Structure 1
Amino acid sequence: STGAQAAALIDVASGRLLYSSRGDKPMRIASLTKIMTAIVAIEHGRLSDRAKVSKNAFGKEGSSIYLRLNEEMNLKDLLYGLMLRSGNDAAITIAEHVGGSVEGFAFLMNEKAKVVGMTNSSFKNPSGLDEQGHYSTANDMAKLTAYALKNPVFQEIVKTKVKKVPNPNESWDYSWVNKNKMLSLYDGADGVKTGYTKLAKRCLVSSATRGGQQ
């Protein structure tokens, strides 16, 4: 049983939905949005590219990896900051670099949603901050995650518990601990993303592999 307002369970290999409770109900998804942000960036960007932190990204509200204005970081490291610490500053930096603008990136997100077969979802931003017309469903997020987990770069990032990244501003490295406590609490856990806003409440997409089944 689950106390969630909506839930879905999917087999990653086959994409078969095994369980769904109110799975097609459109809801706010908070930072679960970043699953889409990550897979779009991995597929459309070059991981070795260096992206620059704009005024728009610097000091973005909500969770942050505390990037400085005009700081440059390679796309792969930004993706770790996005998925482990849920950095909204990383989300905007990634979106502007890969999509040219937040709007341009949101277009790519919605195009990818169509490809994956997400029929009840609409993306307006890369961070998941509450915005009119930004929503998805449990079933759609299950489909998206099963798709994303087939990408080895995505899979590696979301199962990482701690990541150290060079910090150009200080003599010490950034050290990011994954906010996803399931990685330590649940046997076989290997991802994926937590989310929270006051309106969305607590959201979770979790993945585990046991007996060869994810």
Structure 2
Amino acid sequence: MRKLWIIVVAVCLSLVTMGTAFASDVAEPVIAAESAIVVEASTGRVVYEKNADMQGSPASMTKMMTCLLALDELGRHQDVMISKNAAETEDVPLGLAAGDVFSADELLRGMMLASDNGAAVAIAEASAGSVGKFVAQMNDEAAKLDMKDTHFANPNGLTLPGHYSTARDMAKLARYAMTKKEFRDIVGIQQAPIRWSLPKNKVLMVENSNKLLGHYDGMTGIKTGWTMAAGGCLAASAKRNGLELIAVVMKAPDAHVRFDDARKLLDYGFSQTKLKRGIRRDHLKKSVWVRGGTQATVAVHPVEDVNYPVIGGEDPKRYTVTYDLPKVIDAPVKDGTVVGKLVLHYDGKPVGTVDLAAEKADKGFSVGSSLVSIFGWMLPRL
């Protein structure tokens, strides 16, 4: 009987081992694109990468940044007039003409779905007063997003010297942009009518250039790109059972292969990645000192629940967190302002981040905040 139990236990252990090996030994995808990455959206943890830091042209994936900035700058119903410069830009599938007028939201949908390059120029001019000023804002935002290997030279992605990025940086941009509801709503549209304000009653029905929308389970966005120099580019996101992945493909050999590559990346990511509950947003509060405010400290918390992406046979208990926060911030602070990051570590190695946002702190006077102004350098971290 004792021998029988030993055999039963051995068989069970071998089955468990086989199951674990199967989960972690799934073959990595064979990608035709020269550069690719797939990340878990809430933390940015990399599930798979191929030459992810290789610089190349991002083509019309550039428009993710243009849309992101314009949503902050332009009112949805603000009129945008198409300039001669915008109308004469290469590749305008909307058929833009100088003097045409759109509301900002109509033009943004046209830019992101039909990938109209002239629309990007018009949006840049309306947002910043000139394309040059807008491009400077694009590069400032890229720096804030830690896009270390990116430089923009235009708002649409047409090939220019000094216009480059990487799959890793495009994933950072896509990940941040998809936290914005207005952005997410636009890039998830499969088909939409684009309406002119002038000429009146002019309407054009456009299809999203992202052919995976409606044809891949859980697809939520995001943006295609194609030029002869860039090859096939695509930032694609999909969500299943609470898990959202973002895949980026750069320099695929043609415009069709980019979609096949993105499918393979997402299939692999979903087969390998599970989310395990980590820290609930309302269960974690840090604080920082406030200088020049009506209060001496302000609470800081994650922008969402912190879940742990578990890849293959990993153990979620091997996750730890640290906090990348300034000791002192200056008032005023709007509620929800991102002031730092929670850093996820697996086996001691940083693998992802979640933004930390401050609650509201008004500018003004308080004794405590005045003391922070004087003795801030001496204060301990909270």
Flag structure 2 segments of 5+ consecutive residues without an equivalent. Answer: 1-28, 245-382
Q: Structure 1 residues 168-177 or 154-163, which shifts more?
A: 168-177
The residue matched to 2:83 in structure 1 has which SS? coil
Please state how far the C-alpha of 1:171 moved relative to its aligned partner.
4.3
Q: What whole-Å deviation, never above 9, does each CA across 1:143-197 have from its counterpart, x for those lacking one?
A: 1000000000000000101111323336452211111101022111110111111
- Counterpart in 1 of 2:239? 209
Corresponding residue of 2:102: 73
Structure with a larger share of its residues in strand: 2
Shift of 1:78: 0.8
Gapped regions of structure 1 (runs ≥ 5)? none
Aligned partner (choices 145, 166, 169) of residue 199 of structure 2: 169
TM-score (norm 1): 0.96
Q: 2:213 aligns with which of 155, 163, 183?
A: 183
Partner Cα separation in structure 2 for residue 46 and residue 170 of structure 1: 20
Aligned length: 214
> 1:63 offset after TM fit, Å?
4.1
Q: Is the 8 A contact 2:114 2:208 kept in 1?
A: yes
Partner deviation per Cα, 1:93-152 (whole Å, 9 max, x = no partner) = 000000111111100100110111100000000010000000000000001000000000
Q: Is the 8 A contact 1:34 1:128 kept in 2?
A: yes
Quote the residue 1:197 is aligned against.
227
The CA distance in 1 between the partners of 2:151 and 2:46, in whole Å, is 21
Summarize the alignment of residues 31-50 of structure 1 with structure 2, pairs less than 5 Å apart.
31-50=60-79
Q: CA deviation at 1:15?
A: 2.2
| Structure 1 residue 64 displacement after superposition | 2.7
Does the alignment pair 1:149 with 2:178? yes
**1:134 aligned partner, one-letter code:** H
- 1:10 and 1:143 in contact (8 A); partners too: no
Aligned equivalents of 1:33, 1:166: Cα separation in 2: 24
C-alpha contact (below 8 Å) 1:66/1:89 kept by paired residues: no
Distance in 1 separating the partners of 2:158 and 2:93: 12
Pick which of 112-121 and 159-168 moved more: 159-168
Partner SS for 1:10: strand
Q: Is the 8 A contact 2:107 2:194 kept in 1?
A: no
Identity of aligned residues (%): 37
Aligned letter for 2:194? Answer: V
Moved more, 198-207 or 14-23: 14-23
Q: In structure 2, do the counterparts of structure 1 residues 8 and 63 end up closer, same or farther at CA, with 3 Å as the change threshold? A: farther
Q: What residue number does 1:160 align with?
A: 189
**Partner SS, residue 185 of structure 1:** coil
Q: TM-score, normalised by structure 2?
A: 0.55
Amino acid at match of 1:14: T
Q: Which runs of 4+ in 1 moved over 3 A?
A: none
The more displaced of 59-68 and 73-82 is 59-68
Query: Greater CA deviation, 92-101 or 18-27?
Result: 18-27
CA distance in 2, matches of 1:50, 1:5: 40
Contact 2:83-2:122 within 8 A present in 1 as well: yes
Shift of 1:18: 2.2
Instruction: Tell which has more relative contact order, 1 or 2 (C-alpha 8 A, sep 6+).
Output: 1
Alignment of 1:54-73 (within 5 A): 54-73=83-102
Find the residue that maps to 1:134 and give its secondary structure: coil
